[in-house]
Copies of this chain bind each other. A is one copy, B any other.
Amino acid sequence: MHSVRNKRSPLLFSMFSFDILATENNARVGKLVTPHGAIHTPSFVPVGTLATVKALSAEDLCKLGSQVIISNAFHLHLRPGEDLIETIGGLHQFMSWEGPLMTDSGGFQVFSLGSGKEHGVGKIAPIFPEEKDRSIGPLNLKKEKPLVRVDEDGVEFISYIDGARHRFTPEKVIKIEQKLGADIILVLDECTSPLHGYDYTKEAMERTHRWAVRACVEFKRTYEKPQALFGIIQGGAYRDLREESARFISEQDFDGYAIGGSLGRSKHEMNKVLEWTVPLLPQDRPRHLLGIGEIDDIFEIVIRGIDLFDCVLPTRMARTGTVLNRGPDRFRMHIRNARFRGDSLPIQEGCTCYACRNYSRAYLRHLFMTNEPLGVRLATIHNVHFLEALMRQIRLAIREGSLWALRREWFAEI
């Protein structure tokens, strides 16, 4: 990364760096320095889509040991708008987060249907009635007309909030992300679905590559605030496409690399995508896997050389009363279950999070059964703490060469 910064502005040379401090096979411990502080990798990146990690304050996240938050340019463009955030002093100031920040470009939000629903894209009313091309695929599963129109220049979509038409281009997304001012920003990509065929996936990947080049040019042309730009690798679950994408994106002038979906239809396919892609990426730059973060995924992706990953799972699970626990049910515990009614234990024995130090499962269940807002907050605190504590264990294990032993320990219990 040093050399890249150097090209842009010698003054900013020291504001970003990435150093690998220890490795165990492909897994690595690194230190990614940004103008807002360092991120010790591998690191979980809590998702703060709308400039807030759901149910947590900036202070909560500090206490939980979260090092970096990823917010979303697409959502913030729609509400409250990047101009407003810039007026308030940028995204850090707006959300009162003094640490490193990332923004995703919104490629996923614009294109995904399945997972996009969670992000509100599923709420976009059908437009473009004249649109005949069904190649956008999975949208048809719901018998809905395409919600977005992709062309060489960019993508047009309507807001799920007020029905207004919006157009995103690679250049416009750079502009939005510059106004937001996160430390690490991602280029606009076209995210395909696992249900897309080879031809469409290839076509979308090639378009994503052309967009990446344009984003890079625009970023350098308008570079003012110290920001790092990450490229996104696409190509679905097709080996030749992933390899082509990894090579192409690596050749561009990016500070780091994100691996985007689709990651196939199974965890096995996801692992394969990483095995094809990661070895082709420059060793000395950070690698981010977008939108992955179940407990068993985490070991698999770290072992395959991923440095950063974001996932809404711990916060989303918390909202329905599902808490992470080293129990037998894939690390999940449904706190609303009647068996916790009089359970005086904490969510996880030995856990040092605020929820576990102070409250019983019985109390947490009571909060969920009565829809008390403190319930979601305590569950979120626990889930994020649980992941951050796991990441600290993983970083230590890599330094000590015991990552496989740690994995065995975690999975022996389930």
A88 contact set on B, CB distance < 8 A: 342, 344, 360, 362-363
What is the oligomeric copy number? 2
Contact (Cβ within 8 A) B373 A377: yes
Given the interface pairs A84-B341, A373-B376, the reply to whether A358 lies near B58 with Cβ below 8 Å is yes
State in angstroms the CA–CA spacing of A367 and B54 once bound together. 10
A351 is an interface residue with CB less than 8 A from chain B? no
A57 is an interface residue with CB less than 8 A from chain B? yes
Contact (Cβ within 8 A) B369 A52: no
- Nearest-CB residue, chain B, relative to A372: B52
- Nearest-CB residue, chain B, relative to A343: B88
A295 is an interface residue with CB less than 8 A from chain B? no
Contact (Cβ within 8 A) A54 B87: no
A317 contact set on B, CB distance < 8 A: none
Contact (Cβ within 8 A) B79 A374: no
Contact (Cβ within 8 A) B79 A370: yes
Considering only residues 399-414 of chain A, those with a C-beta below 8 Å from chain B are none
A341 contact set on B, CB distance < 8 A: 80, 84
State in angstroms the CA–CA spacing of A358 and B95 once bound together. 8
Considering only residues 87-101 of chain A, those with a C-beta below 8 Å from chain B are 87-89, 94-96
**Chain A interface residue number, banded:** 35 or more
Interchain CB contact (< 8 A) of A56 among B354, B359, B374: B374
A378 is an interface residue with CB less than 8 A from chain B? yes
Contact (Cβ within 8 A) A57 B378: yes
A79 contact set on B, CB distance < 8 A: 366, 369-370
What distance in Å separates the Cβ of A93 from its nearest Cβ neighbour in chain B?
Answer: 8
Interchain CB contact (< 8 A) of A372 among B54, B96, B365: B54
State in angstroms the CA–CA spacing of A367 and B362 once bound together. 30
State in angstroms the CA–CA spacing of A57 and B374 once bound together. 7
Instruction: Please name 25 pairs of A and B residues whose Cβ atoms are closer than 8 Å in the assembled complex, sorted by A.
Output: A50-B366, A51-B363, A52-B372, A52-B374, A54-B373, A54-B374, A55-B373, A56-B374, A57-B358, A59-B358, A79-B369, A80-B366, A80-B369, A84-B341, A84-B342, A84-B362, A87-B344, A88-B344, A88-B360, A88-B363, A89-B344, A94-B363, A96-B363, A373-B373, A373-B376
* CB-based closest 7 A-B pairs: A96-B358, A55-B373, A80-B366, A52-B374, A52-B372, A50-B370, A88-B344
